[in-house]
Amino acid sequence: MDITTENVLLIGSLLLLISILAGKTSYRFGVPTLILFLSVGILAGSEGIGKIEFDDPQLAQFIGIVSLNFILFSGGLDTNWRSIKPILWHGISLSTLGVLFTALSLGTFVWAITDFSIYEGLLLGAIVSSTDAAAVFSILRSKNMALKANLRPTLELESGSNDPMAYFLTIAFLGLVVNQDQSLLSIIPLFLQQILIGAALGFLFGKVSKMIINKITLDFEGLYPVLAIALMFLVFSATDRLGGNGFLAVYLCGVYLGNQDLIHKRTIMRFFDGVAWLMQIVLFLTLGLLVYPSDILPVIGLGILISGFLILIARPIGVFVSLSFFKMKMRRRWYISWVGLRGAVPIVFATYPLLAGIEKAHMIFNIVFFVSLTSVIVQGTTLSTVAKWLHVALPKTVKKISPVDAFLADGTKSLIREITIPPDNFSVGKRIVDLHFPRTAIIAMISRNGKFLTPNGATEIQEEDTLIVLMENKQNVERVYHSLHLTYDPDTVEEENL
């Protein structure tokens, strides 16, 4: 079946519906959701029952880049600075040195057992060197896994931040394959340029984006996520244009914005969470359509060897070398090694050799596809089991969540307080977003002229307003009063525990 203007919406909507319904029941059978999305794409492809002809690596690459922007930006928005701060350097080391040593060890192995040149081997190693953010985020969060000693934020930080390094290595080694007269040392200046410019512009655009979102006044709340999309693509394209790593800039911009006070922040974050899932589905469906299963069969033997080496040797080498600077129990290092899931990102990166037209591009693509599929199946289905074996899992407690608990879930709130704003107070005429409230406190309601209002970040405080404030603990009470420029006297202010 050929994709035409007339049937693309029908085909697309049916594939999305089938993927969502399949994903809803997948974990009952221990199958990662992303495998179901990929399988639907394969079944709908030219060699499946759908017979959809799709052989356009350039379009697949474009869809992949767009999808990765949403996935990385959404992952950045969800990254809590307080959670990652204790393990920040662990994550940075894993996402740089870990990726580098994984690529080098796997590339050398491929060069040793195949007729690949050393640069072609390193190119393949670079393509599959990073853990996939979409795979790790979806599996850890869908399984709601509880892990000991900051393991979960470490894994999520690594998976969200290591794609830029893998992208750089892919582009660098691809350049060496095409221009074999260049030396390996020639990529060092390119690395410094990509990382330094990408990091600097990521934070710079984050600050500018915060100012734009908070200063601009839009008539409809639903336009704020649209504004965030425009800013996200501006960050990526401008950084890439200036020679930096666009993926790194997008992720860091998301991290910065996710930890700042923004107007309609909850609306923006919920929107990107939903769109990130949509992009994951679209990405896996597209890559499923792109692959020809008959081309995978000849490389299964080699793929098993490469996948086994990656999972059991190359990934542990990268993890143990990058974490050798830190104190960490051995079983936790082994678990981080096991959560080295490959997913759609390596398959997207494998389209770069196809478009460059190098000799072994199709073979590299098929091997990468097999390795990614194997990784998600083998590692993705055993995360819980391996966590129990290595004693890094926390016991699960089942608790029914009430609507009130759900409302308070953004950081557990255990105190409630009514605060009346005097006429000459600093906060009168100020928007809530400009008050710099503690992240562990929220203004749930405002009593004004005998009526209750549900505020948002753009709501302006008026004199004689009574703020109903929910706080996480007693330590935040003084910070709330400080944000409102009110005198805090613990002896005269009444507290009520929820």
Cα separation, 51 vs 42, whole angstroms: 10
Full 3-state SS string of 433-486: HHHCCCCCEEEEEEEECCEEECCCCCCECCCCCEEEEEECCCHHHHHHHHHCCC
Are 421 and 427 spatial neighbours (Cβ–Cβ below 8 Å)? yes
DSSP 168-210: HHHHHHHHHHH-TTS-GGGHHHHHHHHHHHHHHHHHHHHHHHH
Q: What is the pTM of this model?
A: 0.79
DSSP 53: B
Cβ of 224: how many Cβ atoms within 10 Å? 21
Protein fold of 403-497:
Alpha-Beta Plaits (3.30.70)
* 164 has pLDDT over 80: yes
pLDDT digit string (tens) for 107-159? Answer: 999 999 999 999 999 999 999 998 876 667 666 665 556 677 778 888 888 88
- CA 224 to each of CA 38, 205, 456: distance values in angstroms, whole numbers, following the listed order: 32, 17, 13
Cα separation, 174 vs 342, whole angstroms: 20
Strand partners, 287: none
Are 242 and 197 spatial neighbours (Cβ–Cβ below 8 Å)? yes
| SS3 at position 144 | coil
Cα separation, 248 vs 278, whole angstroms: 21
Are 135 and 343 spatial neighbours (Cβ–Cβ below 8 Å)? yes
* 411 has pLDDT over 50: no
- Tell me the pLDDT band of 401, cut-offs 50, 70 and 90: very low
> Taking Cα atoms as reference points, which of 80, 166, 99, 94 lies closest to residue 332?
94
- 25 burial via Cβ count (<10 Å: 0-12, 13-18, 19+): exposed
> Taking Cα atoms as reference points, which of 103, 127, 61 lies closest to residue 342?
127
The stretch 81-95 carries a mean pLDDT of 88
Question: Looking at 269-273, 324-328, 368-372, 406-410, which range is the least confident one?
Answer: 406-410
Cα separation, 372 vs 345, whole angstroms: 9
CATH number among 1.10.287.3510, 1.10.1040.10, 3.30.70.270, 1.20.1530.20, domain 8-389: 1.20.1530.20
Strand partners, 364: none
DSSP 400: P
Contacts of 317 (CB under 8 A, 6+ apart): 101, 102, 105
pLDDT digit string (tens) for 306-329? Answer: 999 999 999 999 999 999 998 888
pLDDT digit string (tens) for 263-278? Answer: 888 889 889 988 888 8
**Domain map (residue ranges) of the chain:** 8-389, 403-497
Sign of CA dihedral 407, 410, 414, 415: negative
Output the average pLDDT for the chain.
82
pLDDT digit string (tens) for 429-484? Answer: 888 877 777 777 778 888 888 888 888 777 888 888 888 888 776 667 778 887 88
Q: Name the most confidently modeled range: 10-19, 368-377, 393-402.
A: 368-377
Contacts of 124 (CB under 8 A, 6+ apart): 106, 107, 110, 116, 306, 364, 367, 368
Are 64 and 286 spatial neighbours (Cβ–Cβ below 8 Å)? yes
Which pLDDT value is given to residue 42?
Answer: 83
Cα separation, 183 vs 94, whole angstroms: 26
* 74 has pLDDT over 50: yes
Structure tokens at 27: 């974990």
